[in-house]
Every structure is written in C-alpha cells, then in structure tokens.
Amino acid sequence: MVRFPRVLAVLPYALGFLLPPLLVWSSEAGGLTAWLPVLALFVGVALCDAVTPVHPASWSPSDAARLDSHLEFRVMTWLWVPVHAALMFWAITTGATLHGSGWWALVLGTGAIGGAVGITYAHELIHRTSSWERALGDVLLALVSYPQFALAHVYGHHRHVATPHDAATARLGEGLYAFLVRSVIGGVREAAVFESDRLRRRGHPAWHVSNACWRYAATLVVVYGGVWMLQGWWGVGFLVLQSVLAIALLETINYVEHYGLLRREISAGRYEPCGVQHSWDSSHRVSNWLLINLARHADHHLVASRRFPALSSQPRAPQLPAGYGAMLLLATIPPLWRRVMDPRAERVRDGIWQEA
C-alpha cells in the first residue's frame, strides 16, 4: 500500500525529474538560457552542496530492510526509463531544428542528464535480482551507448575494486583524462572476459549466441538504426556526442569514488575483503538527492544489493572534502585535484583514513 508520508520521503530524490522539463524550456527559450541545465548540473549542484548542511544517515538492519522494501522508491527508478526515452526522442528531433550554440547546448544538456541521472538510475537497476529490472537498466545504458557497463560494473568492478585489476579504480597520481581512456577500454575488456569465462564454464565457445555482448551489440544497432531512420546522420551524430559526454561524466564519478585507494594484497593475487576504507564517502545532501545516494558509496560496496534508500553513511570511511558536484569540477583540473586528494589518499593508505 502506498502511504502519503512515504511518498513525501521520495520527493527529494526525485530532483532529477526536474531536469528534463528544464532542458525543454531552456532549449525553447534559446540564447544563454539554453545553457541553464548544464550550469545547474555542473555549478548549481556544487553551490547547493556548499550552502546546505551535510546529511549523514545511519540505519539499523531492520530499518534498512524496511526502506529496501518500500515500493515508492522502486517505482521512482522505474519511471525514469520512459522519461529518459521520451527526452531522447524529443532532443534528437528538436536538435534537427537548431544550429550553432543552441544545438551544442542541447547536446551537452542531454548528455549531462544522461550521465548524471540516467546512468545513476541504470546503476541502481542493474544491481537488482529481477531480470526485468536489470532489463530496464540495460535500456537506459543503451540510450547512452554504454550497455556493457552492466557486466563490467557488477561482475568486474565490484569484484576487483581498489585493486590493480579494476579498470574503474583510479590510481594514486593518475590524472582524470588518462583514467577515462583506461577505464572505458578496460570496462569493455572486462565485460568480454567475464562473458567468455562464463560460457567456457558452461562448455560453450566465447562467441556462443548466448553471449550477452551480442545482445548489447544488437541493442545498439536497433537504437542507432532507429535514430538514423528518425533524423538521419545528424541524429546519429547527436546520439554519439551526447553519449560521449554521458560516459565521460559516469567515468569521472568512478574516478572520484575510489581515487588512490587500494586493498592490501594478502598473498599473490589475493586481496583483503573490500571495506569502508576502499571508497570515498560523502553525506552532502543535494548530491545524494540527485544521484539517489550514490555518494554513500562505501555502504554500496559493502552490500551491493541494497537499494538506494537503505544505504547508510559510513563515518569510518574516508570522506570527500566536498560534494560530488564540486569534486567532479575539481577532477577536471588534475594539478588541483592531486593537491587536494593525494594527501588524503596517502593517509588512508597509512591506516588513518578517519582523518582523511
């Protein structure tokens, strides 16, 4: 049964649903207003985090189980799928009528929403046990041309996080732009290797028809073919560019989440279990509303199956000095990023991460 107080509790996390109408309105208004969604995501969120108090939350096992079962939070993630699909249809068809800075503002706004909100919701869905929810996550990932992320993240990143074997863990001293290349290529490789190993264990060759990578490739053919029939090569170009931005934004978030953290190798090829000290945590309110508690990242790695409302802040985890909005901007300037984050990461490695 849907209860009114629980619906109210969902509303702050529905912040991302304001972005599609903002993109539509700003694009129709034109001029400098067309850049408002990009500014809202890359500057507005950082400012809001800075002026609002942090909001740590710690749930008992019974409270976490109760929050995990609330239907209202699940429905919100499901609803984003048709919203995002409709936004993409509108953006691609509208893009054909625009030119110059207005076109670029629409491309960047669409990609930013896809990377910040769309892939975050996809991340929530691909961790579910039900096949239909994972399929919804696959749809969202296909809209940003990154379907293999489902395999690479769930079966690669969560297994190898904070080790040299994880492409999505940024090394201490590694700049963002080198990381983006390594993480994207490594993620594709991890997905292919996982499927190859899975099929081999079942006695099938790597190119067997049940290889999920074939399904992902077919999905992209359908998506790009549909866009080409809708708007031709201009539409395809729009889809590619917004996907590049969305993927770069996702991987920048990956960069922030584990930068410089490393699990101790206890024997050749074996590492200590993943703990709270292997993820950067953040209790900044607006970032967590927009990214549905993604910044409570240490708890996510402790219990990956836990739904977003049940995630707790981990005070013993190393804490980011600012919210995700500001940290994403900082990451784009590698010398400043290293000045801020390298000393913190080194303290974590020394075992005093509570002071990080």
Q: Which helix (H) or strand (E) holds 244?
A: helix 212-258
Lowest mean pLDDT: which of 6-15, 69-78, 152-161, 180-189? 6-15
Span 274-303, pLDDT tens digits: 999 999 999 999 999 999 999 999 999 999
Lowest mean pLDDT: which of 124-128, 181-185, 219-223, 346-350? 346-350
Among residues of the chain, what percentage have pLDDT more than 70?
A: 97
Q: Report the domain count for the chain.
A: 1
Considering only CA atoms, which of 275, 277, 276, 311 is closest in space to residue 293?
Answer: 311
Neighbours of 270 (CB within 10 A): 9
The model's confidence at residue 249, banded by pLDDT at 50, 70 and 90, is very high
Residue 158 lies in a domain: yes
For residue 3, the model assigns a pLDDT of 53
For residue 152, the model assigns a pLDDT of 95
What six digits make up the tokens of 291?
């990214």
- Does the structure show a pLDDT above 70 at 355? no
Domain containing 92 equals 4-55+71-349
- Does the structure show a pLDDT above 60 at 209? yes
Q: CB-hemisphere CA count at 13 Å for 285?
A: 10
For residue 2, the model assigns a pLDDT of 43
* Mean pLDDT along residues 64-69: 85
Q: Answer yes or no: are the C-beta atoms of 158 and 192 closer than 8 Å.
A: no
Residue 65 lies in a domain: no
- Does the structure show a pLDDT above 70 at 272? yes
Residue 62 lies in a domain: no
The model's confidence at residue 4, banded by pLDDT at 50, 70 and 90, is very low
- Whole-angstrom distance, CA of residue 290 vs CA of residue 29: 24
For residue 206, the model assigns a pLDDT of 83
Which residue has better confidence, 92 or 65? 92
SS (H, E, C) 108-171: HHHHHHHHHHHHHHHHHHHCCCCHHHHHHHHHHHHCCCCCCHHHHHHHHHHHHCCCCCCCCCCC
Q: Which residue has the tokens 């985090």?
A: 49
The model's confidence at residue 6, banded by pLDDT at 50, 70 and 90, is low
pLDDT averaged over the chain? 92
- Measured CA to CA in angstroms, residue 318 lies from 46, 180, 215, 259, 278 at distances of 20, 23, 39, 11, 8
- Residues 6 or more apart whose Cβ sits within 8 Å of residue 199: 205, 206, 208, 210, 211
The model's confidence at residue 134, banded by pLDDT at 50, 70 and 90, is very high
Q: Which residue has the tokens 């509108």?
A: 90
Residue 355 lies in a domain: no
The CA radius of gyration of the chain, in Å to the nearest whole number, is 20
Residue 354 lies in a domain: no
Over the range 128-143, which residues count as b (16 or more CB within 10 Å of their CB) and which as e? beeeebbebbbbbbbb
Residue 61 lies in a domain: no
Residue 356 lies in a domain: no
The model's confidence at residue 352, banded by pLDDT at 50, 70 and 90, is low
Residue 60 lies in a domain: no
* Mean pLDDT along residues 19-47: 95
pTM for this model (two decimals): 0.93
Among residues of the chain, what percentage have pLDDT more than 90?
A: 82
The model's confidence at residue 64, banded by pLDDT at 50, 70 and 90, is confident
For residue 48, the model assigns a pLDDT of 95
The model's confidence at residue 324, banded by pLDDT at 50, 70 and 90, is very high
259 torsion bin: left (phi>0), alpha (psi -120 to 50), beta (else): beta
